[in-house]
Structure 1
Amino acid sequence: MTHDEALAQFLLRMGDNTLILGHRVSEWCGHAPVLEEDIALANIALDLIGQTQMWLGLAGQIQGGQSADDLAFLRDAWDFRNVLLVEVPNGDFGRTIMRQFLFDAWHSIVLEQLQSSADDRVAAIAAKARKEVAYHLERSRDTVVGLGDGTEESHSRMQGALDYLWPYVGEMFAVDEVDAIMTDAGVAPNPFDLRAQYDALIEKVMTKATLTIPENRFAHKGGRDGRMHTEHLGHLLTQMQWLQRAYPGASW
């Protein structure tokens, strides 16, 4: 695999993560428990889609002139490179917030490292995205703590959400050829090396939230490349790509 091929795959991973999670979060628009949460989740979704445009836009340039829209709307499920965590359906509000926090914690650590990337384009995107993600993390962290250390019902739901989602966390720290090439070139950090910092952050927050982290910290479901996506992604893409597929090449 060449450097440019690996870089394109890395960019697709970053962009697909934010694209799929952004779409998932947007599903709460008009359905959140209270108006404040409805507005906040909609804004987070918009931030994530904006980040997607930058990551996929650069990936498209490297792959030969494809646009971010081409990559978002014209690929099939097996061509997406996001982690499985972001595909997981929203479930109840507690599961959505826990999923957001588990991703935000990883996202903030990765973006902090990417600001020092040897690729100036990657560093610039990371610097812009990190400001938004700092807010995402603060908000999801505080909500996890508030619900976890809240009523008996909210605590139970948050513990259930953590138990359900934890097996998906390990995939974010898996290392393959793409990661090795990016690390050797100074473009991105080795994912495995970020796990200790991530665990420390998770432990601190879960202690405040009076939640118990499942014991098996290194199990994970799936793998990014050469793996079958869950049925969740196919259903999500049916919604997300419907207009473009129904009217190919249409413009407004």
Structure 2
Amino acid sequence: MARVVDLNSDLGESFGPWVMGNDAAMLDIVSSANVACGGHAGDPEVMYATLRLAAERGVVVGAHPGYADREGFGRRVIPMAPAEIGRMVAAQVGALQGVAALAGVTVRYVKAHGALANLAAERAEVAAAVAGAVAALPGRLMLLAISGTELEVQGRKAGLDVVSEVFADRAYQANGQLVPRSQAGAVLHDPDAAAERMLRFLETGRIPVLGGGEVALAAGSICVHGDNPAAVEMARTLRARLEGAGVSLRPFAGG
């Protein structure tokens, strides 16, 4: 069984008076925080508050850009040319880096959100645009990519340090891709079942497939989505089960 792994969550996804998730509680549990950059969610005040909370808890911070689609929470594909996607990613990550400078925090990596991440997982030209934007930005940013995807390949081609992730609260298809949220069973809600699945993955390198069977994946980070109503309980249970099995939680991007 792997003895060291990162635990990340998508946070900072509130906007103005609208609150998404429980960032304060999640930041007491995770080792890395993917902070929304004002595209699918977030605004300068939410960014700043989330960055400061992360700093106070010693949690490493990454940027979480996505389609500028608040109504769809970045989970709908917006038709854009790859070059436009690259500029969108650069603008959002740069915005978070700017707010981070005021918060006294360093943004260390980038993880694409929602529909953008799923499209980059499948299409080489989109993945190359995302990876190229990350490589062009200052700070020697790392790339956190869904395990077994085109974004991993293109990130490495761009010369980035790429870390792969798996999801504690999402079901998988036989090809290693996530089950679309529109399908029944795509999101896991039982914390104990999710924790057991992750422990088995760390031991075997294989994750169950929805409908039967398993798929082999490799990962240095496990994600629990912060917008899941059971997110805090799931993250807390997962951390306790991992540590109980002798697994250390450590941010992949350092401190």
TM score, norm. by length of structure 1: 0.27
Q: Which has the larger radius of gyration?
A: 1
**Higher strand proportion:** 2
TM score, norm. by length of structure 2: 0.27
